[in-house]
Amino acid sequence: KQEVTQIPAALSVPEGENLVLNCSFTDSAIYNLQWFRQDPGKGLTSLLLIQSSQREQTSGRLNASLDKSSGRSTLYIAASQPGDSATYLCAVGTGGFKTIFGAGTRLFVKA
Amino acid sequence: KAGVTQTPRYLIKTRGQQVTLSCSPISGHRSVSWYQQTPGQGLQFLFEYFSETQRNKGNFPGRFSGRQFSNSRSEMNVSTLELGDSALYLCASSLAEGPIGELFFGEGSRLTVL
């Protein structure tokens, strides 16, 4: 059974700091891994999608890596800003047309 | 290009009632999946539809059901509501036929059961 874990559960950093969010999964047989952002009471916004054959994806200040063999992904945020404050979730696409989500990391960037 | 639209955005029901939530996917997307989000359980998969066929269902009781129409719009229904059904219900659409597509989410329907 696929399980997705995100560490840390919460993180507070000063503005301008570079940071890394971690995601681990138990079954390496995944189709893709997606990172999302969620603001309070809102839906999820897709940040980056990594296919199982890829190692990383970049979008602006965001870089996501994927290591299937070790069951890990990281989301790197460069030069963090207060507007980056949100909950970040990772999700793995599995067989059976099902996507499994981690519990998320709540990020607070202090001005 | 319009995003995923969910209606209603907010609703309040009482125990024992039933509720129907609607989801209109991004134009051209034929896969629609539903998730329940609660503070204690996080995001949990409910079901996924493609071309009017349910391809997978999560571990929820039979009170939770769904369907997809020929125009790819989807509805989910919860009957005999319980207090524990209070949650944010999120719908996502995808272009791909399988679990290889990028998911795009709506803003959700927040259900409160009193």
Q: Residues A35-39: what's their mean pLDDT?
A: 97
- Cβ within 8 Å, pair A51-B100: yes
Residue A94 near chain B (CB below 8 Å): yes
In this predicted structure, what is the pLDDT of residue A90?
97
In this predicted structure, what is the pLDDT of residue B101?
80
- Cβ within 8 Å, pair A46-B103: yes
Chain B residues whose CB is inside 8 A of the A91 CB are 43, 103
Chain A residues whose CB is inside 8 A of the B88 CB are 41
Residue A40 near chain B (CB below 8 Å): no
Residue B100 has pLDDT above 70, yes or no: no
Residue A58 has pLDDT above 70, yes or no: yes
Interface contacts (A, B; CB < 8 Å): 67
Starting at the earlier edge strand, list the strands of the sheet with B64-68. Answer: B5-7, B19-24, B74-78, B64-68
Angle at B103 between CA B99 and CA B107, to 5 degrees: 145
In this predicted structure, what is the pLDDT of residue B1?
64
3 state SS for chain A:
CCCEEEECCEEEEECCCCEEEEEEECCCCCCEEEEEEECCCCCEEEEEEEECCCCEEEECCEEEEEECCCCEEEEEECCCCHHHCEEEEEEEEECCCEEEECCCEEEEEEC
- Cβ within 8 Å, pair B56-A97: yes
Q: Residues B88-96: what's their mean pLDDT?
A: 92
Query: pLDDT tens for residues A60-84?
Result: 999 999 999 999 999 999 999 999 9
Chain B residues whose CB is inside 8 A of the A42 CB are 107-108
Confidence of residue B98 (pLDDT cuts 50, 70, 90): low
Query: pLDDT tens for residues B34-81?
Result: 999 998 889 999 999 999 999 889 999 999 999 999 999 999 999 999
- Cβ within 8 Å, pair A31-B35: no
What average pLDDT does chain B have? 93
Chain A residues whose CB is inside 8 A of the B33 CB are 97, 99
E strand or H helix at B5, and its extent?
A: strand B5-7
- Note the residue count of chain A: 111
For residue B37, count other CB atoms closer than 10 A to its CB: 20
In this predicted structure, what is the pLDDT of residue A18?
97
